[in-house]
Structure 1
C-alpha cells in the first residue's frame, strides 16, 4: 500500500466515514482497509483527532503552519551562517576575496558590516582599507556581469566566444575562473512533473444522458482593482447546462472543492455519477479522490492540454469572461462574489441557451423533470 500524507481535514473526513461504517456493523480491519490505512494508524487517528471539530482542526492546522514557518526561518538563517563559517574560509584566502564576500553579505542579506566581517573572518580595518592597485581584470569582470545579465541562459563558453569576437585577448580558462569568482552561472531548468488522475471513463466518449449524470469542474482567475488574485470554481451539470456553483475566493484548494461539491449534493439530494475535470493539482488531490470513493462517484479526467474534452464548462467560463469579468472591475472579494452570483442567477433563469432550444437551463431542467418523472426516483 503506497504511503501518503493526510491533511487534518482529510483525517477528520475519513474518521467520519469510519464511524458510519462501524455503525453499520463493519469490522475495524475492514474499515481500515477501506480507508487505505493500517489499523495502528486508524487507532492513532482516533486518539488524536477523534474528538476534534472542524474549527479545532482549522486552528490546529494554523498552529502547525505557523510552527513550521518559524522553524524554517530559523533553519534558513542558521544554514546561511554555518555555510559561510565552515566553507568560505578555505576558499577566501586573500583580503580582496574576503572584502568582496563582506560586500555581498551586506547587499544581499542586509547584515551590518560588523556582522559580515565576523562571519567572513575579516578585520574591519582591512575591510575599510582601499588598496592603491586596482584589479587588472576589473573591466573584464564588469563585461562578464553585463553579459550574464543580458543573456541569463548563456554560459561562460559562449561568453568567451563573444569576447574573442569583440576583440578581447583572453583564453577560455581565465573566463571560466572569473565567471565562477563572480558567482555567474546558468540556472538549471526544472522539469515539471506531469500529474494526471485515474479515470473511470474516457472523457472523449462520455456523454451526459440525464441530470446529475455528469458534473463538469473547472477554474478560472481574475483580480481585484488592488491586484489581488481571485479564483473561481465552476461546477456545471452537462445535461441541463445549469451552473450548480460558482465559488469565488482568493484561494480554493482541494478541501474547499470537496466542501463545495458536498453542499451541491446536499441541496440536490443526490451525487453525480461522474465528474469531468482536468488534471489540476486540486482535482487530482487525495481529498477529491476520497470524496469520489465515499460517494460512489466515478471520474473522467481529460487528456493533458485538451480543454476541448471538457467543452461545456469551458464554454460557460468563456461566457462569464466575456459578459462579466472582462467588463467589470472588482474593488473587493465581496463585490466579486455578489456580481458573480447575480450573473449565475441570470444565466440559469434568464439567458436563453441555443443548445437547449432557446430555453434557459432552469426551464429545460423543469421541462425534462415533468416529462421523465420515473427517472428522477
Structure 2
C-alpha cells in the first residue's frame, strides 16, 4: 500500500509497485451517473451489433425507453472509441500531423509466435467512472503479452505496455495496429524503430484484421468487467489481472483447438529456441 508517511518518496513507492502517479491519484472521469449508465448500455449493445452507428444506436436507445438522443449517443460513442465497422476502417482517431505507415499483412500467412504482434485500446466501465485499457497480443497464439490501464488517452500507457512486452518476450518481426494517435505518436514509433520492428497499420480493406483483438474485449467484458462492477481502479486492475491470467493459461482458444494461448505460444517458441 502506498503511504505518504513512508520514508521512501511517493514516486519511489509507485515505481516499486509498478504504478504510475496518474493511477495513484485516479479520480473517476467526470461524466454524470446517467451518462455512465448510457455508456454501459451502448457498450454492451455495440458488442452485439458492431455495425451500429450513432443513428442506429440512438434508435435502439429510443426503442428501449432510454432518453438518450443521437447527439448524446454520438458524443458518448466517440468518448468510448466505438466506430461502426462499415463507416471507416480504423477504430481510433488519427492525428492529422502523424505519419501513417503502410499495411504489411496482406496475404501473409501468420504461422508462428512473435511473427506479428498487435495492439488495441478499449473503454472499461466502472461503477462511478471508466478507464481505458490497452493490450499487446501475439497474433498467432492470441496470448496477451502485456496490458495497462489509464484514465486518459495519452500515449504513455501504451508505450509502457509495449516496453514491458518487449522486455518479457523479445521483439516481433512486425507490429500491426490501427491508425490511432497513440500508435502513431513519436514515443510509440521510436520504441518500434529502435528495436528494428517493422511497422504495419490497418488501412482500407484491412480493418477486419483488428477484430481479432476486439474479440478479446468482448470476452473480457462479459466474463469479468460486467460481472464485477469494479468500484476503484485498483480493484479493476486486480480483477482484470486475474482474468488475463485465466485467459492465457486456462481458457482454450478456438483458433488452436484445446490449446490455451500460453500453450500455443510455447509449443512453437520452445522448438525455435532449441534450434537457435
Give the TM-score, by structure 2 length: 0.60
| Alignment equivalent of 2:210, drawn from 300, 310, 320 | 310
Note the C-alpha offset of 1:237: 0.3
Written as runs of structure 1 = structure 2, the 5 A alignment for 1:121-270 is 197-226=99-128, 228-268=129-169, 270=170
Query: Which residue is equivalent to 1:340?
Result: 240
Note the C-alpha offset of 1:261: 1.2
Note the C-alpha offset of 1:364: 1.9
Structure 1 unpaired stretches of 5+: 1-53, 56-61, 63-151, 153-191
Written as runs of structure 1 = structure 2, the 5 A alignment for 1:115-126 is none
Residues 253/206 of structure 1: CA separation in 2 closer, same or farther (3 Å cut): farther
Query: Which residue is equivalent to 1:362?
Result: 262
Q: SS of the residue aligned with 1:312?
A: helix
Q: Take 2:189 and 2:253, find their aligned partners in 1: how far apart are those partners?
A: 33
Query: Which residue is equivalent to 2:194?
Result: 294
Q: SS of the residue aligned with 1:326?
A: helix
Q: Take 1:204 and 1:194, find their aligned partners in 2: how far apart are those partners?
A: 25
Structure 2 unpaired stretches of 5+: 1-10, 13-20, 22-70, 72-93
Residues 337/358 of structure 1: CA separation in 2 closer, same or farther (3 Å cut): same
Relative contact order (C-alpha < 8 Å, sep 6+): which is higher? 2
Preserved contact between residue 122 and residue 133 of structure 2 (Cα < 8 Å): yes
Note the C-alpha offset of 1:229: 2.3
Figure out how many residues of one structure are paired with residues of the other and give that number.
187
CA shift digits 1:136-169 (9 cap, x unpaired): xxxxxxxxxxxxxxxx9xxxxxxxxxxxxxxxxx
Residues 305/318 of structure 1: CA separation in 2 closer, same or farther (3 Å cut): farther
Higher Cα radius of gyration: 1
Q: SS of the residue aligned with 2:196?
A: coil
Query: Which residue is equivalent to 2:37?
Result: none
1:275 paired with 2:175, answer yes
Q: Which has the higher helix share?
A: 1
Q: Take 2:244 and 2:204, find their aligned partners in 1: how far apart are those partners?
A: 28
CA shift digits 1:78-126 (9 cap, x unpaired): xxxxxxxxxxxxxxxxxxxxxxxxxxxxxxxxxxxxxxxxxxxxxxxxx
Q: Which has the higher strand share?
A: 2
CA shift digits 1:240-265 (9 cap, x unpaired): 11111121221252233222211221
